[in-house]
Structure 1
Amino acid sequence: MTRYDQPYMPGGFQVMPPAIKAIIIANVIVFLFQNTAFGPFLTTVGALWPIGSQNPGEYTFRLWQPISYLFLHGSFTHLFFNMFALWMFGAEIENYWGTKNFVTYYFICGVGAALINLVATAGNPYPTVGASGAIFGVLLAFGMMFPERYIYIYFLLPVKTKYFVAGYALIEFIAGFGNRTMGSGSNVAHFAHLGGMVVGYIYILIRRNDGSINRMFRKFSLPKKQKGPVLWQGGADDDVSEAEIDRILDKISSRGYDSLTAEEKRKLLKAGKR
């Protein structure tokens, strides 16, 4: 049986797992095409154009844009930092969740970010491009999965992941509403970033509770918080009682995942399997 504290991916931990590699390659290829004669066409049909904008003719929203905009970037710097963040925070998540689950989560966050951004930018004449919405969802998942791990800002200042993610979300929230109220010309899609985190959080909550909305709301009424590295597996099977799982989750909440014994990790993994 695969241990809970070991990667899910076959063959052990992969530094560059397949989904991360494929997404990076696809984004680089599209960016190269953006810098050819095809660039204006790709922006016209693939960027996320706001609904109700004043742009004439072909500069309009199309149904495929909530996906296609994820592969377009405004500059090499934009592309580089997005792909670096995807690898930095996403590789470990894909190793633990598996490629299929990671890809599903990535695109749900990206599409969800697009939909929220469309609501927030209705009537705006400028399009949105970039994978940032999906990547912010990945960042949120990393923060929930490894809340006590340290991130070194500028390679010097250590900050726990949970505080880093919460702070980033607050900054995006303030910046997004600041741009709207003050008419800022910022070209940063703050609502897409925040939308990716919000959609990712809701999706994780639902998956934690076996995909059941009713079960999710019942969990909200309980005083105990359930945290753990495997984010969306919730509920026990026939061999592990719910009381035992609650005890283990309480231990994680109070003392961290590393405080679990090997047997407790095994039970948590077994309870999380569908």
Structure 2
Amino acid sequence: MGYADREYFREGGGRPPSRLAGAPVVKWLLIVNLGVFLLGLFVEGPDKILEQMFRERADVDRDQKISLAEMKFWGAAQPKAVQGWKIEDRFKRWDKDADGFLTPGEVIHPGVFTVTEGLYGFQVWRLVTFQFLHADFGHLFFNSIAIYFFGAFVEQQLRSRAFLFFYLLCGVAGALGASLLGLFQGNFQWQLVGASAGVFGILAVAALIAPKMQVRLLIPPVTLTMRQLAIILLGIGVLTILLGGRNAGGEAGHLGGALAGFLFWKVPILRELLVKLGSPGGRGSVTRRGFQIRIKKSDKRYEKKLRPRMKDSGRTAAEVDRILDKINEHGLQSLTEEERALLSDSGKK
């Protein structure tokens, strides 16, 4: 995709007809997340889903009970789904076996990630499946909004196949981050669901690519730079963990995903591994400077397809970088006619 094809260079305010036009992976992530959520509602029913998420084995000791007020899933209470149940008889946090080790109850839902099932039980598929499950519609909605706005931007920089691996690996890193905190605190049964770890990986990369890009939030209605948004969200996560908040496990997952995104973008060997995973034949290798992609070694078909993007001279490339920085800071309207012409010529090469 040349520079003239980027969304902020299009006529009419820099917005393409559809943000998803150049982001097929983001489109399918949104479809699959919504489809899985609706399937769970209409096939299993909300009561059954909640029971699967929290129900314990019938044969465990029930000395440690939790109340209805405490029975929340990542901060989202579901009182209607358990109306009429004797909560103290149906739910518990954990028990200790004869050796004094914590023995968490069984998680029935096959897609939820916990340390017990996902790691100790070697049910490694949970490292991926939890990323497509959501606790409620609000959880799904805000993750989908973030994937739509920021995921499309990052996918256009990484290319679709590499972006898919990037997104899923950030989710895996989020599960491992939550696991580390769970192991440290002795809580093996945190139940992790949602796309948030992958979303935080996306946010981290977006903040590195365009730190001064303006972001208008829905709630609260304020405008922040991409860097400010990332710092605030990561700061909330750190404080929640340090203060022992209810969603400490989820925030650890967020931080794990963000750290993975940062490392994939900043560490050359990880970036090259990511591109190799996402390139035809697995032999692509790239270095990055700003928004440029320069192939060092690659499958011939892949190299031939991308070679026109490397024809800029060093001087032109530096000018293009400067212009892109200017767009990030002041918007497309700040460009002179000469700068617009340079971007247009560069995008056609």
The answer to whether the superposition gives a TM-score over 0.5 is yes
- What is the identity, as a one-letter code, of the residue corresponding to 2:207? G
Q: Which residue of 2 aligns with 1:129?
A: 193
1:187-214 CA distances to partner (integer Å, 9 max, x unpaired)?
66001111111101101123599628xx
| Aligned-partner SS, 1:44 | coil
The answer to whether structure 1 residue 6 and structure 2 residue 15 are counterparts is no
Distance (whole Å) between structure 2 residues aligned to residue 198 and residue 210 of structure 1: 14
Gaps of 5+ in 1: 54-58, 213-225
* Alpha carbons 2:30, 2:144 under 8 Å: kept: yes
The answer to whether structure 1 residue 228 and structure 2 residue 290 are counterparts is yes
* Alpha carbons 1:245, 1:268 under 8 Å: kept: no
Distance 1:84 1:264, change over 3 A: closer
Distance 1:26 1:234, change over 3 A: same
| Cα drift, residue 146 of structure 1 | 2.1
* Alpha carbons 1:227, 1:252 under 8 Å: kept: no
* Alpha carbons 1:117, 1:189 under 8 Å: kept: yes
Distance (whole Å) between structure 1 residues aligned to residue 269 and residue 320 of structure 2: 13
Distance (whole Å) between structure 2 residues aligned to residue 85 and residue 110 of structure 1: 14
The answer to whether structure 1 residue 21 and structure 2 residue 82 are counterparts is no
| Aligned-partner SS, 2:215 | strand
Q: CA RMSD for the aligned pairs?
A: 3.9
- Once the two structures are superposed, the pairs formed by residues 39-188 of structure 1 within 5 Å of their partners are 39=49, 40=52, 44-51=109-116, 62-122=123-183, 123-124=186-187, 125-153=189-217, 154=219, 156-179=221-244, 184-186=245-247
| Aligned-partner SS, 1:189 | helix
- Matched-pair identity in %: 23
| Cα drift, residue 25 of structure 1 | 1.8
Distance (whole Å) between structure 1 residues aligned to residue 345 and residue 259 of structure 2: 31
Distance 1:76 1:254, change over 3 A: closer
Distance (whole Å) between structure 2 residues aligned to residue 87 and residue 103 of structure 1: 14
Distance 1:161 1:208, change over 3 A: farther
| Aligned-partner SS, 1:121 | helix
| Cα drift, residue 106 of structure 1 | 0.8
* Alpha carbons 1:209, 1:234 under 8 Å: kept: no
Q: Which residue of 2 aligns with 1:56?
A: none
| Aligned-partner SS, 1:211 | helix
Q: TM-score, normalised by structure 2?
A: 0.57
Distance (whole Å) between structure 1 residues aligned to residue 166 and residue 342 of structure 2: 29
Distance (whole Å) between structure 1 residues aligned to residue 290 and residue 348 of structure 2: 10
- Once the two structures are superposed, the pairs formed by residues 193-232 of structure 1 within 5 Å of their partners are 193-207=254-268, 211=272, 228-229=290-291
| Cα drift, residue 44 of structure 1 | 2.7
Distance (whole Å) between structure 2 residues aligned to residue 164 and residue 113 of structure 1: 19
Distance (whole Å) between structure 2 residues aligned to residue 256 and residue 227 of structure 1: 17
* Alpha carbons 1:13, 1:95 under 8 Å: kept: no
Q: TM-score, normalised by structure 1?
A: 0.70
Kindly tell me the number of residue pairs found equivalent between the two proteins: 242
Q: Which residue of 2 aligns with 1:222?
A: none
Distance (whole Å) between structure 1 residues aligned to residue 237 and residue 111 of structure 2: 25
* Alpha carbons 1:73, 1:79 under 8 Å: kept: yes
1:151-174 CA distances to partner (integer Å, 9 max, x unpaired)?
123364221111211222222122
- What is the identity, as a one-letter code, of the residue corresponding to 1:31? F
Distance (whole Å) between structure 1 residues aligned to residue 323 and residue 236 of structure 2: 28
**Greater C-alpha radius of gyration:** 2
| Cα drift, residue 144 of structure 1 | 1.9
Gaps of 5+ in 2: 8-15, 54-106, 274-287, 297-306
